[in-house]
A = this chain, B = another copy of it.
Amino acid sequence: MKNAKLQAFIPLFYLVWSDDLLTQKEFVTLKEFIKSQKKLSVEEQEYLLSKVDISNPPSRNELTQWKSDIEANIKDKSSIKSIFDIAVALSEKDLDISALESDFTKLENDLGILGEEVIQNFKTKSDSLTANSQTTNSFDIQQLTSILNGKEAPIINRVKSIISKPEFAYETSTDINIYRQTVYKWCKILAEENLGNMAYPKQYGGGENIADYFAVMETLSYHDLSLVIKFGVQFGLWGMSVQSLGTEKHYAKYLKDIGSLKLPGCFAMTETHHGSNVKGLETTATYNHNNQTFTIHTPNKNAQKEYIGNAAVHGQMATVFAKLIIDGHDYGVNAFVVGLRDANGNILNGVTIGDCGHKMGLNGVDNGTISFDNVVIPKENMLDRFASVNDKGEFESPIPSDNRRFFTMLGTLVGGRIGIPRSALSAAKSGLTIAIRYSDQRRQFGPEGGSEVPILNYRIHQRRLLPHLAKIYAVHFALQYLTNRFLNRTEAEMQEIEALAAGLKSYSTWSTRDILQECREACGGKGYLSENRIDALKNDTEIYTTFEGDNTVLMQLTAKNRLSEFRKSFGEMGSFGIINYVYENAKTAITEKNPIATRRTEDEHLLDGEFHLQAFIHREKTILASAAKRIKRLIDDGLDTYDAFNVVQHQMIDVSQAYLERVVLEQFQIAVKAVEDLKTKEILTKLSQLYALSQLEKNKAWFLEDGYMEAVKTKAIRKMVNQLCWDIRPDALALVNAFDIPESCLSAPISKL
């Protein structure tokens, strides 16, 4: 029973017995199809039906034979497009079969099979588009590294060479006592290298170089992050609080020993019940005029200092924030230097230390709690740059308002909000380097008959990682900008810079959180093994979104600053003024908002940096005005200011977000413009386009609601983001290698090239 007509049915047999998507229902469909073929004899029909009897499957050998028959017959025949075409090929000599074409087509449809797809499964090919995308690099990696490092290159390279030494091998013990000691030992080495006192005045042994200090923090962050935080607590928080809030006598007494780590100390601000709302803290410093001392006291359990780095084990002194009380009057929060332990590590009388114990991360840092039971300190221990008690026992300050004095004090500590986001960005760079290197080598799945394909060739994988790569570059330049603004600040700019720092701290640390999350998942099971370091990077930076100011609270601060700037620029703050502003803004946007612009989708336009920036600016301005208008209306309607701000909290986050995105894009574009080398400029331009367009895509609902873009344009942007990912993919490896992270720091086995 073998004739050419029957051969025509082989592809159908093969399909029903092999396709993993067809089910019992399809057997029934096929049987009915066979029965309906009037040109077949009863004998032929019975033979065919016996081949689709679910209780009597063909042997595996028979199935394999069918497959090779089909493959042999369709080989190199590009004209074959449907199952019927295969049937024809298998039954070449039987011309009769042509009458069956429409029946076959109907059957294909009934079975829900896509002919072309089936055919391709029979063809062996290894050179699909997807498989062929390959790593190359279109630019000089070292040049890009130089651009990233800028003039900090010497100190960056020095730090890299130090942390690459054998004594900086990662601690692998899970015992936090061992880990804490290792980190302390590392800090001592860094102090010996004069890295800790980098920012202190030269007369106290320091390097008097704040720019270098930030670069040190950033570069150390390629290594263990407990080290970075312990280092930052000692030399940044503890040392800088003495330097910023104290006066000459404190510098002379403490700075040298702090810088050499002879005097380990703490920054004791946060209390159990007062973290974000530091102004409400309850520890008291009561002035005793009779003996010229202060009594530091913790009035209740929830006023204990908590999460204090260096407290649980090493700290000998602390800058303690407490409410100053003179003669029963509360003069607001001030800072005092208070002893915790003697030089041998014995805890002093009246001081109680607790251990915060095991944490999600940063277990090399000895966070603890501190309580004071009427601890007496000499008068000169008050850090008295902004307030003091005079000889008559009276309060004195150049800043009469407690509130403003407090914020001025905090303002001097803004450096932390620059160091932390830069540290966070380094962690993101490490994570993405590991993930991209792995994705470039890890192969999984592939075209039928071809070999497996690097997972970075998959569009979805590119989508997961490459917009993050663009974002890291963008944030890098934004943080350089923030640092420069801070280093060259004038008094008048301070509030703006503080708001920018608060905002970029949030933006950068949230970005790191998202990037490391994606890296973990993109590396699958390998990303879960501690040896590959994403574990530590992720868990250590997890708290970055909370410390140095909770991000959500900081975003509200930044938004409030934007609102106040807005009010100053647009005088009349009545509803009329805002409406006027909105109207003016709408007018300037009118060229961008005409039907042609809102629908433009040609590549040149979509990739135009000017278009990107204008769109970001439009969003920033419109959201700001709309928030101002809403608050005004709520208050006009009789709501408390406090309640009104509560109602718009969600919108305030958008105000900050839109502002920060504009700053980040603007600074990225400015940085790219300054690049001279053409190849480098080209790849950075692509990254800035990808950053801009992926943000526009993320915010597309807003642009559609606003009418700034129409659907045709937002859809085109989505496609362009995909295309840019595909175009950047070959350079992805070179782009992470340009971060130039020491191999010993990356350490992850999956990151080995």
In the assembled complex, the Cα of A395 lies from the Cα of B61 at a distance in Å of: 9
In the assembled complex, the Cα of A464 lies from the Cα of B23 at a distance in Å of: 44
- Complex contact A542–B567 (CB within 8 A): no
For A, the interface residue count at a CB cutoff of 8 angstroms equals: 137
Shortest distance from the beta carbon of A32 to any chain B beta carbon, whole Å: 14
User: Please, which residue of chain B has its CB at the minimum distance from the CB of A332?
Assistant: B60
User: Please, which residue of chain B has its CB at the minimum distance from the CB of A118?
Assistant: B641
- Complex contact B552–A460 (CB within 8 A): yes
- Complex contact B400–A60 (CB within 8 A): yes
- A120 contacts which chain B residues (CB < 8 A)? 640-642
- Complex contact A458–B649 (CB within 8 A): yes
- Residue from B25, B494, B530, B568 within 8 A of A357 (CB atoms): B530
- A646 contacts which chain B residues (CB < 8 A)? 129-130, 457-459
- Identify the stretch in A226-234, A275-283, A590-598 within 8 Å (CB) of chain B at 4 or more residues: A275-283
A174-B358, A360-B530, A649-B458 given as contacts; is B307 within 8 A of A525 (CB)? Answer: yes
**B-facing residues in A365-402 (Cβ within 8 Å):** 395, 397-402
**B-facing residues in A15-31 (Cβ within 8 Å):** 17-21, 23-25
- Complex contact A447–B108 (CB within 8 A): no
Shortest distance from the beta carbon of A479 to any chain B beta carbon, whole Å: 22
Q: What would 12 A/B residue contacts be, using CB atoms closer than 8 Å?
A: A60-B397, A60-B400, A109-B573, A112-B564, A112-B567, A120-B640, A129-B639, A459-B650, A464-B552, A524-B546, A527-B546, A528-B546
**B-facing residues in A633-661 (Cβ within 8 Å):** 635-636, 639-643, 646-650, 652-653
- Residue from B59, B400, B531, B711 within 8 A of A62 (CB atoms): B400
- A639 contacts which chain B residues (CB < 8 A)? 129
**B-facing residues in A435-466 (Cβ within 8 Å):** 443-448, 452, 457-461, 463-464
**B-facing residues in A38-66 (Cβ within 8 Å):** 57-60, 62-63
- Complex contact B642–A444 (CB within 8 A): no
Shortest distance from the beta carbon of A409 to any chain B beta carbon, whole Å: 11
- Complex contact B20–A359 (CB within 8 A): no
Extra pairs beyond A24-B492, A276-B444, A448-B642 (8, CB < 8 Å): A17-B401, A112-B567, A114-B573, A120-B642, A130-B640, A464-B552, A701-B704, A707-B711
**B-facing residues in A447-506 (Cβ within 8 Å):** 447-448, 452, 457-461, 463-464, 491-492, 494-495
User: Please, which residue of chain B has its CB at the minimum distance from the CB of A360?
Assistant: B535
Shortest distance from the beta carbon of A707 to any chain B beta carbon, whole Å: 7
Question: Is A176 part of the binding interface, using a Cβ–Cβ cutoff of 8 Å?
Answer: yes
Question: Is A512 part of the binding interface, using a Cβ–Cβ cutoff of 8 Å?
Answer: no
Shortest distance from the beta carbon of A433 to any chain B beta carbon, whole Å: 18
- Residue from B447, B464, B539 within 8 A of A360 (CB atoms): B539
- A743 contacts which chain B residues (CB < 8 A)? none
In the assembled complex, the Cα of A495 lies from the Cα of B646 at a distance in Å of: 49
Shortest distance from the beta carbon of A228 to any chain B beta carbon, whole Å: 16
User: Which of A116, A646, A722 has most chain B Cβ within 10 Å?
Assistant: A646
User: Please, which residue of chain B has its CB at the minimum distance from the CB of A532?
Assistant: B360
Question: Is A175 part of the binding interface, using a Cβ–Cβ cutoff of 8 Å?
Answer: yes
- Residue from B59, B110, B528 within 8 A of A543 (CB atoms): B528
- A359 contacts which chain B residues (CB < 8 A)? 528-530, 535
- A328 contacts which chain B residues (CB < 8 A)? none
In the assembled complex, the Cα of A459 lies from the Cα of B275 at a distance in Å of: 19
A360-B530, A404-B18, A528-B546 given as contacts; is B117 within 8 A of A635 (CB)? Answer: yes
Question: Is A356 part of the binding interface, using a Cβ–Cβ cutoff of 8 Å?
Answer: yes
Shortest distance from the beta carbon of A702 to any chain B beta carbon, whole Å: 9
Question: Is A751 part of the binding interface, using a Cβ–Cβ cutoff of 8 Å?
Answer: no
Question: Is A33 part of the binding interface, using a Cβ–Cβ cutoff of 8 Å?
Answer: no
User: Please, which residue of chain B has its CB at the minimum distance from the CB of A447?
Assistant: B642
In the assembled complex, the Cα of A735 lies from the Cα of B551 at a distance in Å of: 27
Would you call the interface of chain A mostly helix, strand, loop, or mixed?
helix
**B-facing residues in A414-445 (Cβ within 8 Å):** 443-445
- Complex contact A650–B444 (CB within 8 A): no
- Complex contact A63–B705 (CB within 8 A): no
- A640 contacts which chain B residues (CB < 8 A)? 120, 125, 128-130, 447
Question: Is A677 part of the binding interface, using a Cβ–Cβ cutoff of 8 Å?
Answer: no
Question: Is A113 part of the binding interface, using a Cβ–Cβ cutoff of 8 Å?
Answer: yes
Question: Is A571 part of the binding interface, using a Cβ–Cβ cutoff of 8 Å?
Answer: yes
User: Please, which residue of chain B has its CB at the minimum distance from the CB of A705?
Assistant: B711
Shortest distance from the beta carbon of A431 to any chain B beta carbon, whole Å: 13
User: Please, which residue of chain B has its CB at the minimum distance from the CB of A445?
Assistant: B277
Shortest distance from the beta carbon of A529 to any chain B beta carbon, whole Å: 6
In the assembled complex, the Cα of A564 lies from the Cα of B307 at a distance in Å of: 55
A360-B535, A642-B130, A704-B701 given as contacts; is B400 within 8 A of A492 (CB)? Answer: no
Question: Is A306 part of the binding interface, using a Cβ–Cβ cutoff of 8 Å?
Answer: yes
- A60 contacts which chain B residues (CB < 8 A)? 331, 395, 397, 400-402
Question: Is A550 part of the binding interface, using a Cβ–Cβ cutoff of 8 Å?
Answer: yes
User: Please, which residue of chain B has its CB at the minimum distance from the CB of A362?
Assistant: B528
Shortest distance from the beta carbon of A390 to any chain B beta carbon, whole Å: 11
In the assembled complex, the Cα of A360 lies from the Cα of B542 at a distance in Å of: 13
- Residue from B18, B25, B459, B543 within 8 A of A403 (CB atoms): B18
Shortest distance from the beta carbon of A727 to any chain B beta carbon, whole Å: 14
In the assembled complex, the Cα of A700 lies from the Cα of B701 at a distance in Å of: 6
- Residue from B23, B109, B520 within 8 A of A542 (CB atoms): B520
- A112 contacts which chain B residues (CB < 8 A)? 564-568, 571, 573
- Complex contact B722–A701 (CB within 8 A): no
Interface string of A507-546 (1 = CB under 8 A from B): 0000001000100110011011111001100110011011
In the assembled complex, the Cα of A74 lies from the Cα of B24 at a distance in Å of: 83
- A534 contacts which chain B residues (CB < 8 A)? 360
Question: Is A599 part of the binding interface, using a Cβ–Cβ cutoff of 8 Å?
Answer: no
In the assembled complex, the Cα of A461 lies from the Cα of B649 at a distance in Å of: 9
User: Which of A113, A528, A561 has most chain B Cβ within 10 Å?
Assistant: A528
In the assembled complex, the Cα of A463 lies from the Cα of B567 at a distance in Å of: 28
Shortest distance from the beta carbon of A539 to any chain B beta carbon, whole Å: 7
Interface string of A164-205 (1 = CB under 8 A from B): 000000001011100000000000000000000000000000
Shortest distance from the beta carbon of A599 to any chain B beta carbon, whole Å: 13
- A357 contacts which chain B residues (CB < 8 A)? 529-531
A57-B399, A359-B535 given as contacts; is B552 within 8 A of A525 (CB)? Answer: no
- Complex contact B547–A275 (CB within 8 A): no
- Complex contact A19–B404 (CB within 8 A): yes
Question: Is A577 part of the binding interface, using a Cβ–Cβ cutoff of 8 Å?
Answer: yes
Question: Is A611 part of the binding interface, using a Cβ–Cβ cutoff of 8 Å?
Answer: no
- A270 contacts which chain B residues (CB < 8 A)? 525
- A307 contacts which chain B residues (CB < 8 A)? 525
- A407 contacts which chain B residues (CB < 8 A)? 20
User: Please, which residue of chain B has its CB at the minimum distance from the CB of A176?
Assistant: B174
In the assembled complex, the Cα of A109 lies from the Cα of B461 at a distance in Å of: 52
Interface string of A97-129 (1 = CB under 8 A from B): 000000000001111111011001100010011
